[in-house]
Structure 1
Amino acid sequence: MKCISVYTNNFEVFSDIYEQVLSSPPEENEEVVIEGMTVSGSGDVPDQYIERMRQKLEVVVMKDKERNITILQHGNVFEICLPEEEDAAL
């Protein structure tokens, strides 16, 4: 599962750039700035990562059901987790 980190704690700002991040995601270990927000290609995370994060009280879990994308929000970061088949479709 590919993970992209967006460094903000503001949901409105995140939702404004969400589609732009998905249309041109950064490569692994690459950082780009989109509308003043740092976006980083965090590489691959194991499938159980989402389940571990889901159990933490400080983590908000959102789902883009259309594209089977999971979004985790904790602290000052949103993590967009893309399943491998979604990764190829982008």
Structure 2
Amino acid sequence: MKCISVYTNNFELFSDIYETILSTPLAENEEKEVEGVTVSESGEVPENYLDKMKARPDVVVMRLKDRDITILQHGSVFEIFIPETESVVH
């Protein structure tokens, strides 16, 4: 799974820029700023990382079933997990 990290603890702001983030082309380990928020392409993440994070009590899990995307929020970061088969519009 591909992981995009979004460094904010503001859910409303994250929600407002979510689609922009998905449509922003990012190379592996590249950082960009989207509306004042740092966004980073964190590369490939093993499946067990996602399972381990979901089990933590301080992690909020959001699931977009129609696109098979999982979003984790913990501390001041959101992590967007996109399966290999998901094609992000660039």
TM-score range, shorter chain: over 0.9
**TM (normalized to structure 2)?**
0.94
Q: Which runs of 5+ in 2 are unaligned?
A: none
The letter of the residue matching 2:39 is V
Are 1:23 and 2:23 matched, yes or no?
Answer: yes
SS at match of 1:22: helix
Q: In structure 2, how many angstroms separate the alpha carbons of the residues matched to 1:25 and 1:11?
A: 22
Partner of 1:75: 75
CA distance in 2, matches of 1:14, 1:47: 24
- How many residue pairs are counted as aligned between the two chains? 88
Superposition misfits of 4+ residues, deviation over 2 angstroms: none
Residue aligning to 1:41 = 41
Alpha-carbon distance in structure 2 between the residues aligned to 1:25 and 1:57: 32
Distance 1:83 1:60 in 2: 19
